[in-house]
Amino acid sequence: MKFADVPGLAPIKAKLIANVQNERLAHAQLFLGPEGSGKLHLALALTQYLYCTSRSNTDSCGECSSCRKVRTLTHPDIHFTYPTVVKTSGKEPISTDYVQEWRKELLASPFMNTSDWIGKIADSENKSPNITRRETREIVTKLGMKPYEGEAKTLIIWMPEYLAEQSNALLKVIEEPTQKTYFILVAENSDRLLATITSRTQLVKIPKYTETEAQLFLQEKYNLDSKKAEQLAYLSEGNLRKAIDLVESVEDNYSEIFRDWMLACYSNNLKKVMEITEELHKLGRVQLQLFLTNGLAIMRESLLYKTITGYVIKAETDQQDFIKKFSSTLNAAYIETSYEQINEVIYHIQRNANAKVALFNLSLNLRYNFIRK
Ligand SMILES: [Zn+2]
The end-to-end CA distance of the chain, in Å, is: 57
HSE, side-chain direction, 13 A CA sphere, residue 265: 26
Distance 63 CA to ligand 1 centre (A): 5
Distance 149 CA to ligand 1 centre (A): 14
**Angle of helix 332-350 versus helix 355-371 axis, rounded to 10:** 170
Q: What is the band of 126 on the pLDDT scale with cuts at 50, 70, 90?
A: low
Report the alpha-carbon distance of residue 336 to residue 242 in Å, rounded.
Answer: 31
DSSP 127-170: PPPBB-HHHHHHHHHHHHSPPSSSS-EEEEEE-GGGB-S--HHH
Report the alpha-carbon distance of residue 305 to residue 313 in Å, rounded.
Answer: 7
HSE, side-chain direction, 13 A CA sphere, residue 21: 13
Distance 69 CA to ligand 1 centre (A): 10
8-state DSSP, 207: P
Q: What pLDDT is attached to residue 215? A: 95
**E strands present in 57-146:** 78-81
Distance 320 CA to ligand 1 centre (A): 49
Report the alpha-carbon distance of residue 153 to residue 146 in Å, rounded.
Answer: 8
**Among the ranges 16-25, 134-143, 193-202, 351-360, which has the highest mean pLDDT value?**
16-25
Distance 10 CA to ligand 1 centre (A): 20
Q: What pLDDT is attached to residue 363? A: 93
pTM given for the model: 0.76
Contacts of 358 (CB under 8 A, 6+ apart): 345, 348, 349
Comparing 31-40, 245-254, 347-356, the range with the smallest average pLDDT is 245-254
Pure H helices in 205-253:
211-222, 226-236, 240-249
Distances (CA, A) of 83 to 40, 117, 136, 240: 14, 9, 12, 21
Distance 57 CA to ligand 1 centre (A): 12
Q: What is the band of 373 on the pLDDT scale with cuts at 50, 70, 90?
A: low
Distance 354 CA to ligand 1 centre (A): 54
Q: What pLDDT is attached to residue 252? A: 63
Distance 3 CA to ligand 1 centre (A): 12
Comparing 76-85, 134-143, 201-210, 315-324, the range with the smallest average pLDDT is 315-324
Bridge partners, residue 153, by sequence: 181
Distance 281 CA to ligand 1 centre (A): 51
Distance 67 CA to ligand 1 centre (A): 4
Confidence check: pLDDT of 181 > 80: yes
Report the alpha-carbon distance of residue 263 to residue 156 in Å, rounded.
Answer: 56
Confidence check: pLDDT of 372 > 80: no
Confidence check: pLDDT of 100 > 70: yes
Stated as kind and residue range, the H or E segment containing 97 is none
Confidence check: pLDDT of 204 > 70: yes
Q: What is the band of 210 on the pLDDT scale with cuts at 50, 70, 90?
A: very high
Q: Which residue has the higher pLDDT, 30 or 242?
A: 30
**Among the ranges 59-73, 147-161, 299-313, which has the highest mean pLDDT value?**
59-73
Q: What pLDDT is attached to residue 325? A: 86
Comparing 148-157, 159-168, 247-256, the range with the smallest average pLDDT is 247-256
Classify strands 181-187 and 153-158 as parallel, antiparallel or unpaired.
parallel
Distance 32 CA to ligand 1 centre (A): 26
Q: What pLDDT is attached to residue 349? A: 87
Report the alpha-carbon distance of residue 40 to residue 212 in Å, rounded.
Answer: 20
Q: Which domains does the chain have, with CATH numbers?
A: 3-207 (3.40.50.300), 250-371 (1.20.272)
Burial class of residue 201, CB neighbours in 10 A (0-12, 13-18, 19+): buried
Q: What pLDDT is attached to residue 61? A: 97
Average confidence score pLDDT of the chain: 90
- Among candidate residues 163, 214, 158, the one with its CA nearest the CA of residue 41: 158
Distance 150 CA to ligand 1 centre (A): 13
Report the alpha-carbon distance of residue 372 to residue 330 in Å, rounded.
Answer: 9
Distance 310 CA to ligand 1 centre (A): 53
Q: What is the band of 146 on the pLDDT scale with cuts at 50, 70, 90?
A: confident
Distance 5 CA to ligand 1 centre (A): 14
Q: Which residue has the higher pLDDT, 50 or 87?
A: 50
8-state DSSP, 179: S
Residue 189 near residue 161 (C-beta atoms within 8 A)? yes
Q: What is the band of 266 on the pLDDT scale with cuts at 50, 70, 90?
A: confident
